[in-house]
Amino acid sequence: MENVMAIIMAAGKGTRMKSKNSKLVQKIYGKEMVKRSVENARKAGIENIVTVVGYKKEQVMDVLGDTVEYAIQEEMLGTGHAVMQATKFLEGKKGKVVVLNGDVPILRPETIVRLVDKSIDNKEAATLLTAIYDDPFGYGRIIRDEGGNIEGIVEEKDATEEQKEIAEINAGIYCFDIEVLLEALKEIKPNNSQGEYYLTDVIQIIGDKGLKTGAVIVEDNTEILGVNDRMQLQMVTKILQHRINTELMKNGVTIEDINSTYIYDDVKIGMDTVIHPNTIIKSNVEIGEDCEIGPNAYIREGSRLANRVKIGSFVEIKKAIIGEGTKVPHLSYMGDCEIGAGTNIGCGSITCNYDGFKKSKTIIGDDCFIGSNVNFIAPVTIGRNVLVGAGSTITDDVPADSLAIARQKQLNKEGWNKSK
Ligand code: UD1
Ligand code: CA
C-alpha cells in the first residue's frame, strides 16, 4: 500500500495483566502481541510503521528491534496523547495513516485493507472499524445521526444511560487522512471523566469541519478483541487456535480434536495427514502428505517431515529432517537429526545431541532398523540399511549394510540367587 503508514499504540501499562512485564510483550502462540499487531499491519501491505512506546519501552523495543520506528510517550495521558507523540513522523506527509491498538493482536490483515480501501474509495477523512456487540460494556459507543452518519464516539465512562444502550462499538482501529488528523489532534482537550486526551474525540472534530467520516463494520467480532487481562489472553489464544485448525481442515488435514491441538500459525501440513489429540506443532515446521502425528506428540522448530511419516505418542522432535515413510512410533527424542526414508526408530530411542556446551547432529540413513532404547551420542552417522541392536549406545559411525550392537554381553551366574 503506497502512501499508507501505521501508528501502533503500545505505551500503556496494562495494569489488569498483573505482570512484571509490559502487557504488549505477553505471548500468544509464542509470539508477543505487539509483534502480532505489527505483522498484521505489515501483511496488509503497510511498510512504514511507527510504534508509540512508554511503559517498559525497552521490552517492546527489544521485541520489535529496528523493524519499526519509535515515538516515546513519557506520560500516559490517553490514546490521543499517544498519537500526538508520533506527529513528527506524519508532518509533511500526504496520504493515509492507520492507527491500531497494540493490544488487539488477532485482527485480520484483510480487515485493515478493507478499512483503507473504503476510506480511499469513499473519500472519507476518517474511517473507523466498528462492531455490533451483544454486551458493549467497556467500549466506546458509536453515535450516529438519523441519516446514519457518524457524529462521534462516547466512552463508557462518559456515556449517558441512553448512550450505554448503543450496541455499535469502537474497535480502536482507524484510518485517517494524515493532514486532517494532524489538524484535529491540536483541538482535543482532556475534558472528560478520566482527564485524558481521547483519540476518539477527533471523529467529532473532523465531522464538525464538514469533512466526511465513515465506518466499516467488522464481520467477525472476534478479530477485534482487546487483551487486557489473562482471561482475555487465553480467549484470544483459543480463537486463534480455532482459526488455524479450521483453515488446516479446510485444506485437507484431519484434526481429531480441535481443542487439544496447538499448531502455530506458520506451520505447513500436507493433505490427508492425520493429527491425533494433544499434539503441539511449533513454528517453522513443514509436514508432508499422509503423515500420522500423535497422540501426545511434540513437534518443535525447524522440523521437516516428508510424506507418510509417522510420529507416535510421547515423541518429541526438534530440527529433525525425516524422510518418506519413516516411523518414530513411541517414546523418543529425536533432535538435530537427519533420518532417511523407510527407517524405523525403535521405542525409547533418543539422540544425545547436547554435551552441555554445544548441539551436535545425528545422521541416520535410509532403510535402517533401529532397535528399542538406542542412544545416539552425537555427532554420529549411521549408513543406509543398518540394523542397530536394542539397548545399544552408539558412539561411533556405522557403515552401510552393517549390524551394530553396543551393549555389554549378558552374564548369567547360575544358582547365584539361591545361595543368598
Ligand atoms: C479504547 C477506545 C475505545 C475503544 C477501545 C477498543 C479511546 C479513548 N477509547 O479504549 O473507544 O472501544 O479502545 O479496544 O481511545 N495507550 C497508549 N498510551 C496511552 C493510553 C493508551 O499507548 O496513554 C495504548 C494502550 O497500550 C493500548 C491502546 O492504546 O494498546 C488502547 O488503550 P486502552 O487504555 O486499552 O483503551 P480502552 O480503554 O480500551
Ligand atoms: Ca484496551
pLDDT at 196: 96
Mean predicted confidence (pLDDT) in 335-345: 98
Query: Which residue's CA is minimally distant from atom 39 of ligand 1?
Result: 139
Active-site residue flag, 330: yes
Closest of 367, 409, 408, 374 to residue 394, by C-alpha: 374
**Residue 410 pLDDT:** 95
- Residue nearest atom 28 of ligand 1, based on CA coordinates: 101
Residue located via cell numbers 481521547: 198
Task: Give the atom of ligand 1 at the shortest distance from the alpha carbon of 53.
Answer: 22
Phi, psi of 312 (to 5 degrees): -95, -150
Q: Which atom of ligand 1 is nearest to the CA of 82?
A: 18
Q: What is the predicted pLDDT for the residue at 420?
A: 73
| The one catalytic residue among 81, 242, 276, 330 | 330
**How confident is the prediction for the chain on average, in pLDDT?**
97
**How confident is the model over 209-268, as pLDDT tens digits?**
999 999 999 999 999 999 999 999 999 999 999 999 999 999 999 999 999 999 999 999
Please, which pLDDT band fits residue 2 given cuts at 50, 70 and 90? confident
Measured in residues, the chain has a length of 420
DSSP label at residue 54:
B
- In the block, cell 467488522 appears at 218
Average pLDDT over residues 56-77: 97
pLDDT digits (tens, 9 = 90+) for 131-142: 999 999 999 999
* Domains, the chain, ordered by start: 4-224 (3.90.550.10), 251-404 (2.160.10.10)
* 12 ligand 1 Cβ < 6 A: yes
CA of 123 to the centre of ligand 1 (A): 26
pLDDT, one tens digit per residue, over 91-126 is 999 999 999 999 999 999 999 999 999 999 999 999
The CA 171 to ligand 1 mean position distance, Å, reads: 10
Q: How many CB atoms lie within 10 A of CB 256?
A: 14
3-state secondary structure 272-287: CCEECCCCEECCCCEE
Pairing of strands 369-370, 387-388: parallel
Q: Which atom of ligand 1 is nearest to the CA of 199?
A: 15
Residue whose CB lies within 8 A of the most ligand 1 atoms, among 7, 99, 101, for a mutation test: 101
| pTM of the shown model | 0.92
The finding on whether 126 has its CB within 6 A of some atom of ligand 1 is no
Please give the distance, rounded to the nearest whole angstrom, from the Cα atom of residue 381 to the centre of ligand 2.
54
What does the pLDDT average to over 365-384?
A: 98
Q: Which ligand is nearest to the CA of 33?
A: 1
Q: Report whether the peptide linkage leading into residue 295 is cis, meaning its omega lies within 30 degrees of zero.
A: yes
13 falls in which pLDDT band (50, 70, 90)? confident
Grade residue 341 by pLDDT with cuts at 50, 70 and 90. very high
pLDDT at 148: 86
So what's the pLDDT on residue 8? 98
- Nearest residue (CA) to ligand 1, atom 1: 172
Distance between Cα 123 and ligand 2 center (Å)? 29
Distance 65 CA to ligand 1 centre (A): 23
The verdict on the CB of residue 168 being under 6 Å from ligand 1 is no
- Given a cut of 80, whether residue 395 has pLDDT beyond it is yes
User: 51: Cβ below 6 Å to ligand 1?
Assistant: no
Confidence of residue 178 (pLDDT cuts 50, 70, 90): very high
pLDDT of residue 1: 82
